[in-house]
Chain A
Amino acid sequence: MIDLAIKLGLAFTVFFGVLNLAGLHTWIERKQSAIIQDRIGANRASIGGFRLLGLFHPLADAVKMFMKEDIIPARADRVLHTLAPFFSVFFALAAFAAIPFGDRLILGDRVIELQVAKLDVALLYIFAMLSLGVYGVILAGFASRNNYAILGGLRATAQMISYEIALGIAIIGVILVYQTLDLQELVRAQGQLLGGWIPMWGIIVQPVAFFIFVTAALAETKRIPFDLPEGESEIIGYFVEYSGMKFGMFFLTDFLETIMVACLATTLFFGGWQIPYLLPDGFHFPWGATFAVSHFTYVGLGVASFSAKVLFFCWLFMQLRWTLPRFRYDQLMNLGWLGLFPVAVANVVLTATVLFLLGGRA
């Protein structure tokens, strides 16, 4: 009973954090783009005269989305048309179950791993969920009975499948180095020190994989510079025929996937909840100094570290989104198949060879 309560609590924490951050992303997107472009950004929504830097705009948006008429085209497949956005959001949200956001918390005689579902194959699970996300997109395109939507859905599918391969192969390098698919173990393995003072984070041991991962993962999120499936203003995407909150759900999926990718980048390449030189009993600096911290402080610092890294990546992806123009479709395919894919394979071969020479582990 208490176990169940703990699981529900963890799930609530993750959902609460992730959904709020996703809602906040609409605000971050507006404000960050505004600041980059020497503007001010949305700041007019107010409650009782308080504007709070435009923080009420996401609320106003949500209200607007729910109040709008929900239109299903006359010849569309009513069931699939309704189901598609739910698929999108569901798979994007379900993937978060396997993300470890902190070290194990010890309460009395209970050990709580700060991870909603402790899976041995967490990484595979997340990639399965990300891949299934494409169903929402293709269904939306197909069920709308709109040629533009179908073409958008096809573009999305081709793009996501192409980039998933590069993504998966880039990850193999990381798995080879840490020899686990369990994300919690993978994060723990990143706590080791290389040569006594460099934290053994993924970015240090697998820099090439990191670049491939970020590029391919950005393509997975279907946002600029890889927003060919949507292309709101020019090339009309798979959700043309959606209105109201169903459209909002596709939009939410984009943000959820951005956060997902930020979480993955943090977990795989930036040490997850690790803080350099922080062990469960306190800081052990390489020059010999130590600084003891209590257990709760340690776990709290871990969660804070994880959140900070995720927020940094959200910022970085947003910055990229407002820096780069959109790819042309052939450029996109070329980059995926002729650029990222061979480099990812070469990275795996190189990693395996080096590991073999270092100690025959691979």
Chain B
Amino acid sequence: MAVKVVHRRELTFWEKLYVPQILTGLKITSKHFFRNLFLHIVHRIGLLRHLRASATFQYPEEPRPLAWRFRSRHRLTVRDEGTPRCVGCMLCETVCPAKCITIVAGEHPDPNVEKYPVRFDIDLGICVYCGYCVEVCPEDAIRMDTGILDVAAYSRQEMQLDIHELMNPKLRKPVGECSLKFPHECRLRAGQMKGDWEAVYGKAT
């Protein structure tokens, strides 16, 4: 095994005097103090905003910048007419190592699409934020780019996201009115089916 010899340097006489070293330390802390004090004061009158006076982020008001690949709360991407891009292939539910995704597929009127999710739940209390569901999705229907990371709730029930919240990341619990037109199992209506395709595509000709 290689041995690393650490040479400890003897203190010079100047360093042993202690007072000069204290003054050096004071110089460093004072430099920070006066620089930051000056910047804080100047920021008050709106100058030199590009120089930061502190490393602090005032968190709830001033969120930290996120990396572009950061995995935050999920969302379902939406087609122009307001239906989910998801085709109910179950790949994400299958790949999910935490088994937090529940999908119930229904028949889509468009034969090219074939299926769509009648129900799409993600239990964030179980989710490990691995991002496999995003990787595996062939339709780019699920993404983790909402930037929402302060998911918190008082109960396990509230940690479960349903299709309303997944399609509209702006919604927070408690979700008010259901605005989805296509047929889905609406938790807001105690799990009953709600909506019909005519509201989305108009009367079939």
Say how far A88's CB is from chain B's closest CB, in angstroms. Answer: 28
Say how far A330's CB is from chain B's closest CB, in angstroms. Answer: 15
Say how far A351's CB is from chain B's closest CB, in angstroms. Answer: 20
A324 touches B22 (CB 8 A): yes
Across-interface contacts of A324 in B (CB, < 8 A): 22, 25
Q: Give the nearest-CB partner of B22 in chain A.
A: A324
Contact of A38 among B19, B22, B30, B55 (CB under 8 A): B55
B29 touches A39 (CB 8 A): no
Say how far B104's CB is from chain A's closest CB, in angstroms. Answer: 46
Across-interface contacts of A323 in B (CB, < 8 A): 22, 25-26, 28-29
B71-100 interface code vs A (CB 8 A; 1 in, 0 out): 000000000000000000000000000000
A21-49 interface code vs B (CB 8 A; 1 in, 0 out): 00000000000101111111000000000
Say how far A361's CB is from chain B's closest CB, in angstroms. Answer: 30
B33 touches A319 (CB 8 A): yes
Q: A320 in the interface, Cβ–Cβ < 8 Å?
A: yes
Interface residues of B in 15-30 (CB under 8 A from A): 19, 22, 25-26, 28-30
B56 touches A39 (CB 8 A): yes
Q: B115 in the interface, Cβ–Cβ < 8 Å?
A: no
What is the interface residue range for chain B against chain A?
10 to 19
Say how far A107's CB is from chain B's closest CB, in angstroms. Answer: 39
Q: Give the nearest-CB partner of A335 in chain B.
A: B18
User: Which of A32, A40, A319, A324 has its CB near the most chain B CB atoms (within 10 A)?
Assistant: A40
Q: A16 in the interface, Cβ–Cβ < 8 Å?
A: no
Q: A322 in the interface, Cβ–Cβ < 8 Å?
A: yes
Q: A12 in the interface, Cβ–Cβ < 8 Å?
A: no
B25 touches A35 (CB 8 A): no
Q: B54 in the interface, Cβ–Cβ < 8 Å?
A: yes
Across-interface contacts of B53 in A (CB, < 8 A): 38
Complex CA distance for A213 and B191, rounded to whole angstroms: 79
Say how far B140's CB is from chain A's closest CB, in angstroms. Answer: 41
Q: B192 in the interface, Cβ–Cβ < 8 Å?
A: no
Complex CA distance for A40 and B55, rounded to whole angstroms: 8
Q: A211 in the interface, Cβ–Cβ < 8 Å?
A: yes
Q: Give the nearest-CB partner of B34 in chain A.
A: A35
B56 touches A319 (CB 8 A): no
Q: B32 in the interface, Cβ–Cβ < 8 Å?
A: yes
Across-interface contacts of A36 in B (CB, < 8 A): 29, 32-33, 36
B40 touches A320 (CB 8 A): no
Query: Given contacts A32-B33, A37-B32, A39-B56, are A211 and B26 in contact (CB under 8 A)?
Result: no
Across-interface contacts of A319 in B (CB, < 8 A): 26, 29-30, 33
Q: Give the nearest-CB partner of A53 in chain B.
A: B40
Complex CA distance for A34 and B25, rounded to whole angstroms: 17
Interface residues of A in 190-239 (CB under 8 A from B): 211
Across-interface contacts of B205 in A (CB, < 8 A): none
B29 touches A322 (CB 8 A): yes
Q: B58 in the interface, Cβ–Cβ < 8 Å?
A: yes
Across-interface contacts of B22 in A (CB, < 8 A): 320, 323-324
Complex CA distance for A37 and B37, rounded to whole angstroms: 11
A316-356 interface code vs B (CB 8 A; 1 in, 0 out): 00011011100000000000000000000000000000000
B54 touches A34 (CB 8 A): yes
Say how far A210's CB is from chain B's closest CB, in angstroms. Answer: 12
Say how far B50's CB is from chain A's closest CB, in angstroms. Answer: 16
Across-interface contacts of B29 in A (CB, < 8 A): 36, 319, 322-323
Query: Given contacts A35-B40, A38-B54, A40-B56, are A320 and B26 in contact (CB under 8 A)?
Result: yes
A299-324 interface code vs B (CB 8 A; 1 in, 0 out): 00000000000000000000110111
Say how far B154's CB is from chain A's closest CB, in angstroms. Answer: 23
Query: Given contacts A40-B54, A323-B25, A324-B25, are A35 and B19 in contact (CB under 8 A)?
Result: no
Q: Give the nearest-CB partner of B27 in chain A.
A: A323
Q: Give the nearest-CB partner of B31 in chain A.
A: A36
Say how far B63's CB is from chain A's closest CB, in angstroms. Answer: 16
Contact of A35 among B26, B28, B36 (CB under 8 A): B36
Say how far B29's CB is from chain A's closest CB, in angstroms. Answer: 5
Complex CA distance for A323 and B29, rounded to whole angstroms: 6
Complex CA distance for A284 and B40, rounded to whole angstroms: 39
Across-interface contacts of B58 in A (CB, < 8 A): 40
Across-interface contacts of B26 in A (CB, < 8 A): 319-320, 323
Complex CA distance for A34 and B29, rounded to whole angstroms: 11
Task: List 14 extra interface pairs beyond A35-B33, A323-B28, CB under 8 A.
Answer: A35-B40, A36-B32, A36-B33, A36-B36, A38-B32, A38-B54, A39-B54, A39-B55, A319-B29, A319-B30, A320-B26, A323-B22, A324-B22, A324-B25
Q: Could you list some 24 contacts between A and B, CB below 8 A?
A: A32-B33, A35-B33, A35-B36, A35-B40, A35-B54, A36-B36, A37-B32, A38-B32, A38-B36, A38-B53, A38-B54, A38-B55, A39-B54, A39-B56, A40-B54, A40-B56, A40-B58, A319-B26, A319-B29, A319-B30, A319-B33, A323-B22, A323-B25, A324-B22
User: Which chain B residues have a beta carbon within 8 Å of chain A's beta carbons?
Assistant: 19, 22, 25-26, 28-30, 32-33, 36-37, 40, 53-56, 58
